[in-house]
A and B are shown apart, each in its own frame.
Chain A
Amino acid sequence: MGTALLEVREVTKRFPGVLANDKVSLSLAEGEIVALLGENGAGKSTLMNVVYGLLAPDGGEILVDGNTVHVRSPRHAIDLGIGMVHQHFMLVEPLTVTENIVLGIEPTRYGEVIDFAKARADVAELSERYGLFVDPGATVRDLPVGMQQRVEILKALYRRARVLILDEPTAVLTPQEVRELFAVVRSLVAEGLSVVFITHKLEEVMSIADRVVVMRDGRVVGETRPSETDTAGLALMMVGRDVVFRIEKQPSTCGDTILEVSDVSVLDERRLEAVHSVSFRVCAGEILAIAGVSGNGQTELVEAITGLRKVAGGAITLAGSDITHASARQTIEAGVSHVPEDRHRRGMVLEFDLAENMILGDHRRLPFARHGVMDKAAIARITTERVAEYDVRTPSIRVAGNALSGGNQQKLVLARELGRDPELLVAAQPTRGLDVGAIEFVHKQILAERDVGKGVLLVSLELEEIQTLADRILVMFEGRIVKEFAAGEASDEDLGYYMTGGGGDKLAGEHAELSGTEVD
């Protein structure tokens, strides 16, 4: 195979209290696609940030074309031919596609004046060559996520990258966009580029990678080829134990209607209708899951139900009483608990200690407060009880929320929301970014809530989570409920089909194609 284009030798990176990379080695040949597989927190992104010059390694070396290099900065990485597409795009949203692509190496006249004509021509030529079609004059903010990703790739190509690092590139894409991305990646490789593909999704590894490097707890735990393994084998390597656990679930007993959503429409920040006349019911003792690709109105729907967003039309009733125009506070008092999708933004006040976080939402009510004065003793007692009950690992209830790990933070949020004994639990992406153990815990709590006869509305982007928990599944696409399934009725492919706007005749053909691409 000759010299590797990029080689990482025994790279070590420490953060305070964490060994993020422990003597990690990796090599990449010309024209090769290497998948870097691992769970959240396995150290994949850290490694690539070291390669890209964003982090300085504590040990080991990096070689490009067989020569040792010290990558000082992203700019230096670019000069070495390494380009990276970050999970959170590095795009300046109010600028145009062209401006974003040339930023930092602008073609100029007289030294300072940007030659926009040349810039646009260069960008057009590049997108032509690699089949990455995007309007050079469009403002990035107005582009869909898939298009923005193309701009990121073009940015790297414009800088003559030979190695392209893609960090969780499919996390934000629809299945069609994933397909298009894979096509692009294959054409890049055909043009002689090499690609490092960071992911935690087994199917993607199987369908795109030439070689797979698996990371766990900061170490490389295995290396293989898709042809030599299957998803189960990869999963075993990735997690270190058999992951095919299925939570035992009794069939649901549907009782009275807890939540009724009728013809509800909701506007987003730009005052466009994000939810169009959606109707459904959640009954006592069932988990109703809403499946959908991110950005199809789920967030707005959840915010409307929980009183955080105005309802533009329709009605919402909770156990028979109207909560359509209830404030967040009234909604909570009516018996709705909410596990928000963004823990740090909406779920908790990171600067507050655990006790202060535990009462958020109940802070005006008994037993925590009476006539506006808080009962510190009761707050401490109940917090201590719930912290124990929900297994929140903390040295004390007096530490700030940001001292906890993500899993413990989510347990804290659950302890608060379930401890209030609600009628309805609205859980939006309750396991996002959590490790396997925490996911299992959260799932069990949600099921337990159902089993005592509460209603649960679960919104998730993870099909696995939906299949594990749901008694009924609604599929949401572009602000509408496009399909309903009973538990166990739909395969992942069926869900994926409706999640991407399937159901119309013209997409029938793609359904077959989609089923073919996705590997179980």
Chain B
Amino acid sequence: MENGRDRDAGMRRLRAVLEQVATPFVSVVIAMAIGSVIIWAVGYDPVKAFSALFAGAFGGPRQIGETMLRATPLIFTGLAVAYGFRAGLFNIGAEGQLFMGGLVAAWLGIALAGLPTFVIIPTILVAGALAGAAWAFVPALLKARVGAHEVITTMMFTFIARYIVSWLVTGSLKAPGQIPQTDPLPVESTLPRFIDILPGLGTGRAHLGFLIAIVFAVVVWWVLKYTTLGYEARAVGFNRWASETGGVSVSATTVKSLCISGALAAMAGITEVIGVHGRLFDQFSAGFGFTGIAVALLARNNPLGVIATAVLFGALSAGAGTMQLQANVPHKVIFIIQGLVIFLVAAQQLAHWILHPLKGREEVKGA
């Protein structure tokens, strides 16, 4: 009897996991199919395009390294958005927090030149993350105190962050020359690449940030599942009234959660600056904060799932250049696919609606 119950529970779990994986998978396939149709409709060869994309993403160690490189910021922004969603907050402004993280990283990377790496890097990580948290703090406070919707406020803070970075890289942090960018960071302020440690890997530009990102994903997963901090965030995300009744401070949890989300987003900016570019300039993020939304939704806001979905979007982004080069398809098609993926994952009823339009309606009526 007990055994039977255990087995039932096991089956249920298995089915739940399968269902969780199936929808995102199908969504990606459909999104890519629609993308193919668009590519085909404007006169390109979708087979050529996607095989070029695949080759550009996984064709060799250098390409795999490039995918890891592109996945790194997306893991962080995906975690940021997912953590917010779990607490019932939509951090659409991860991009802005990312900018602040990158800014602090560049500033400290230059200012602390000469100190040993094991001092500089942790300092940059902590200070940059705090900067991201601080950038999320005002929208968080406004949400908690007056109910100002975080979608608008964090978005506005993204624009403000961009202008601040633009101002600094054209002003006080600007390196000599025409280009609006900072001086390059000294080597002790940058994250080593994998090939710096094991030259045989051949993973090109991929850097240690990828491993840091994976560690962060595991930590965020653990926090959500095993700590009171995560428990309270999820409780507030589901039902703020019951949380309040259970002694959870809704406003404190809101502020904490959005700030944690901001800190995670900032990690993306930090690792881009100290791991990839080695300097700051105003276009250093390719919309990672926004792609993080797709990453999080596709992962169903599961931090471990974020690793997989970030790698997927990283691969799309890494392969897009090759696709443009070899098949002439503008790489922006991946943003179309991204938008479609979000849409399809969110519209869980879509499959149901297509398969059973009448039944679906009847059930809704009875609900």
Contact = CB atoms under 8 A, between A and B. Distances in A.
A62 to B, nearest CB: 17
Given A56-B362, A356-B231, A374-B226, A328 B9 contact: no
B333 to A, nearest CB: 37
Interface residues on A, range: 35 or more
Given A349-B239, A398-B9, A308 B227 contact: no
Interface in B244-269: 244-249
A125 B234 CA distance: 54
B178 interface: no
Interface in A352-373: 352, 356, 359-361, 363-364, 369, 372-373
Given A345-B239, A352-B235, A374 B227 contact: yes
A376 interface: yes
Interface string A39-57: 0000000000000000110
Contacts of B241: 342, 345-346
A396 B6 CA distance: 10
B235 A349 contact: yes
Tell which of A332, A346, A356 has the most Cβ of chain B within 10 Å.
Answer: A346
A328 B229 contact: no
B366 A55 contact: yes
Contacts of B150: none
A373 B226 contact: yes
A56 B364 CA distance: 12
Contact of A364 (B226, B228, B365, B366): B228
B359 to A, nearest CB: 12
Contacts of B235: 349, 352, 356, 360
Contacts of A331: 247
A346 B239 CA distance: 8
B238 interface: yes
Contacts of B5: 395-396
B156 interface: no
Interface residues of B, number: 26
B228 A374 contact: yes
Contacts of A360: 235, 242-243, 246, 248
Contacts of A327: 247, 249
Interface in B269-283: none
Contact of B365 (A55, A348, A361, A395): A55
A308 B245 contact: yes
Contacts of B9: 396, 398
Given A55-B366, A56-B362, A349 B226 contact: no
A351 B240 CA distance: 12
Nearest to A342: B241
Contacts of A55: 365-366
A398 B243 CA distance: 19
Given A56-B365, A349-B235, A349-B239, A338 B245 contact: yes
B362 A346 contact: no
Tell which of B228, B235, B248, B362 has the most Cβ of chain A within 10 Å.
Answer: B228
Contact of B228 (A333, A340, A369): A369
Contacts of A340: 245
B interface secondary structure, majority: helix
A359 B248 CA distance: 12
Contacts of B229: 372
Contacts of A111: none
B66 interface: no
A369 B228 CA distance: 7
A374 B231 CA distance: 9
Contacts of B363: 16
B252 to A, nearest CB: 10
Interface in A184-216: none
B95 interface: no
Given A15-B366, A374-B226, A376-B226, A308 B244 contact: yes
B165 to A, nearest CB: 35
B188 interface: no
Interface in A173-190: none
B362 A351 contact: no
A329 interface: yes
Contact of A351 (B227, B231, B239, B365): B239
Interface string A107-132: 00000000000000000000000000
B238 A349 contact: yes
Given A363-B232, A374-B231, A396-B9, A349 B242 contact: yes
Given A363-B231, A373-B226, A329 B365 contact: no
Contacts of A349: 235, 238-239, 242-243
Nearest to B231: A363
A306 interface: yes
A347 interface: yes
A328 B245 contact: yes
A373 B246 contact: no
A332 B247 contact: yes
A363 B246 CA distance: 9
Nearest to B366: A15
A346 B238 CA distance: 12
Contacts of B365: 55-56
A56 B232 CA distance: 42
A350 interface: yes
Interface in B1-45: 5, 8-9
A45 B34 CA distance: 46
Interface string B209-232: 000000000000000001111011
B239 A328 contact: no
Nearest to A332: B247
Contacts of B249: 327, 329
A360 B244 CA distance: 10
A332 B246 CA distance: 8
Nearest to A15: B366
Contacts of B244: 308, 328, 346
Contacts of A56: 362, 365
Contacts of A363: 228, 231-232, 246
A478 to B, nearest CB: 26
Nearest to B242: A349
Nearest to A328: B247
Interface in B350-367: 362-363, 365-366
Nearest to A359: B231
A83 B118 CA distance: 77
A139 to B, nearest CB: 23
A324 B5 CA distance: 48
A373 B228 CA distance: 6
A308 B249 CA distance: 10
Interface string A292-310: 0000000000000011100
A271 to B, nearest CB: 16
A373 B231 CA distance: 10
Tell which of B235, B239, B242, B248 has the most Cβ of chain A within 10 Å.
Answer: B242
Contacts of B245: 306, 308, 328, 338, 340, 346-347, 361
Interface in B309-367: 362-363, 365-366
Nearest to A376: B226
B144 to A, nearest CB: 15
A396 to B, nearest CB: 6
Given A332-B247, A396-B5, A372 B242 contact: no
B302 to A, nearest CB: 15
Contacts of A348: 239, 242
Query: Nearest 3 A-B pairs (CB), nearest first?
Result: A329-B247, A360-B246, A361-B246
9 contacts: A329-B247, A331-B247, A333-B247, A345-B241, A347-B245, A356-B235, A364-B228, A374-B231, A396-B9
Given A56-B365, A345-B241, 11 more contacts: A308-B244, A328-B245, A328-B247, A329-B249, A345-B239, A349-B242, A361-B247, A364-B228, A372-B227, A372-B229, A376-B226
